[in-house]
Amino acid sequence: MTGDGNQDQPWKIPPIVQELAAGVQAPPSRYVVREQDRPDVAGAVMPEPIPLVDLSRLSAASDDPYPDEVAKLRSALQSWGLFLAVGHGMEPSFVAEMMNVTKGFYKLPREEKQKYSNLVNGREFRIEGYGNDIVLSENQTLDWCDRFYIIVEPESRKVHSLWPTQPPTFSDTLREYTARCREIVNLVLANMAKLVGLHERYFVDMLDEEAVTYARLNYYPHCPEPDRVFGLKPHSDASVITVVLIDDTVSGLQVQGDDSVWYDVPIVPNALLINVGDVIEILSNGLLKSPVHRVVTNLERERVSLVMFYSMEPEKEIEPAPELVDEERPGRYRKTKTKDYIAELFETLARGTRALDKVKI
């Protein structure tokens, strides 16, 4: 016995989907979703106005120079739990460069990518690195996507050996992108706090200098049968907040509306997608909702996305803000430690359930 058991259980080591897609005529059975759960590849069209917010019109201070823009943010969050952010201050050329190096990583030869594998010694799974999500059971439905997780903040938690040396500008670009995203997130969190009647620093202070930010580079290869698989199963993010740089050439992201219908998230060039995470739902005692979303694949085209997950320091506890709990609106979520919540996320992702349901009262 090796102790990890993976050698006796080869199903625990999932294939690289990029390699699979290059060779198969149809997705293997492990990827095929039960008939009743299969996605409609063409989602419903979002009604106008689409959730779009100009961040240059928002202020982190208590005054609001453009109340109309704040109203748009409120409406977007109420209807969808997410919005497309323009006026975020990143030049289109910089956004394009970040996208290019993300795509460039997946174009590297197999051996180069494998240097960053998330399987230690080819067997033991860890969150960080390149590969697939953890496989917990033989009958788990696998997602048609490869991914690469890297901790980008704080400095003390970065694993430098996992920062790619190829493409050559990858690491510098990601560092710069991380710093720019942090400013955007602080502005958005200040506005979200104001919207629910909290002090403007309430959420920002939850993401102190020990808070951990993960970057996840997703790669969805073309798929011969997009209506039978998920690029990414329905889920909500276990983060405080999430910022996504989406491919502006191929759609695929869908969000579930209050009516349970799946809507396509529209593509707006150079916009960033920002969504509420489970932690803000808990902290706001349910006033802000973490949206359930999924990704569908494309018959001909590959798609990439770069996702930044902002999470609290692992030992920090997550619970509704006392200011938002009273007799009329009792606490709706149990207290949990950040690290336990994140561990739960990976289990629930594998099972296709929701971590949030475990802490709901």
Ligand X SMILES: O=C(O)CCC(=O)C(=O)O
**Does 337 sit near ligand X (CB under 6 A)?**
no
- Identity of the residue, 237 or 278, whose beta carbon is nearer to Fe ion in the bound complex: 237
Q: How many CB atoms lie within 10 A of CB 7?
A: 12
**Does 264 sit near Fe ion (CB under 5 A)?**
no
| Residues in Cβ contact with 288 at an 8 Å cutoff, skipping those fewer than 6 apart | 77, 81, 192, 195, 196, 276, 280, 281
Q: Residue 47 CA to chain centroid, in angstroms?
A: 24
Q: Within a 13 Å sphere around the CA of 27, how many CA atoms are in the beta-carbon half?
A: 27
Site string for Fe ion, 22-41 (x = CB under 5 A): --------------------
- Identity of the residue, 153 or 264, whose beta carbon is nearer to ligand X in the bound complex: 264
Nearest distance in Å: CB 273, ligand X: 7
The footprint of ligand X on residues 269-298 (CB under 6 A) is 293, 295
Residue nearest to Fe ion (CB): 237
Do residues 277 and 242 lie in contact, with contact meaning Cβ atoms separated by under 8 Å? yes
Q: Is 298 helix (H, G, I), strand (E, B) or coil?
A: coil
The footprint of Fe ion on residues 64-123 (CB under 5 A) is none
The footprint of ligand X on residues 165-224 (CB under 6 A) is 216, 218
Tell me the C-alpha distance between 234 and 259, whole Å: 15
The footprint of ligand X on residues 236-275 (CB under 6 A) is 237, 244, 246, 253
Of residues 6, 191, 297, 305, which one binds ligand X by CB under 6 A? Answer: 305
Phi first, then psi, for residue 304 (nearest 5°) are -130, 160
**Does 132 sit near ligand X (CB under 6 A)?**
no
Tracing tokens 């496989």 back to the chain, one arrives at: 135
What does the buried/exposed string (b/e) look like for 23-58 if buried means 16 or more CB atoms within 10 Å of the residue's CB?
A: eeeebeeebebeeeebbebebeebeeeebbbebebb
Tracing tokens 């959420």 back to the chain, one arrives at: 203
Nearest distance in Å: CB 349, ligand X: 9
**Does 237 sit near Fe ion (CB under 5 A)?**
yes
Nearest distance in Å: CB 313, ligand X: 21
Residue nearest to ligand X (CB): 305
Residue 127 tokens read as 């969150």
- Identity of the residue, 252 or 320, whose beta carbon is nearer to ligand X in the bound complex: 252
- Identity of the residue, 69 or 133, whose beta carbon is nearer to ligand X in the bound complex: 133
Binding site for Fe ion (CB under 5 A): 237
Binding site for ligand X (CB under 6 A): 216, 218, 232, 237, 244, 246, 253, 293, 295, 305, 307
